[in-house]
């Protein structure tokens, strides 16, 4: 079980195809702050039909987007 499962579940259950979450919102969902390991774990989201489209350190947010079917 991944430490990011609560975040992945929140993203997948959203009715949005594109979801922007601030670092603070992510912390509220996970009950801990994301760290450098997020870069490794974000690959798990691909299996759930979403991808981490952009990480903005300047704006403290991450954009998640539903993957397009090819």
Domain boundaries, the chain: 5-66
DSSP 15-47: S-SEEEEEHHHHHHHHSS---TTHHHHGGGGGG
Q: What are phi and psi of 19, to 5 degrees?
A: -130, 125
For residues 23 and 49, give the distance between their C-alpha atoms in angstroms, rounded to a whole number. Answer: 21
**For residue 4, what pLDDT is reported?**
96
Helix (H, G, I), strand (E, B) or coil at 53: strand
Predicted confidence at residue 68, as pLDDT, reads 84
pLDDT above 60 (res 70): no
Q: What is the DSSP letter of 67?
A: P
Q: What tens digit of pLDDT does each residue of 8-63 get?
A: 999 999 999 999 999 999 999 999 999 999 999 999 999 999 999 999 999 999 99
């Amino acid at each position: 079980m991944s430490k990011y499962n609560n975040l992945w579940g929140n993203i997948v259950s959203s009715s949005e195809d594109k979801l922007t979450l601030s670092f603070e919102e992510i912390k509220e969902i996970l009950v801990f702050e994301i760290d450098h390991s997020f870069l490794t774990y974000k690959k798990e989201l691909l299996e759930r039909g979403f991808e981490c489209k952009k990480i903005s350190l300047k704006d403290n947010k991450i954009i998640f987007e539903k993957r397009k079917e090819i």
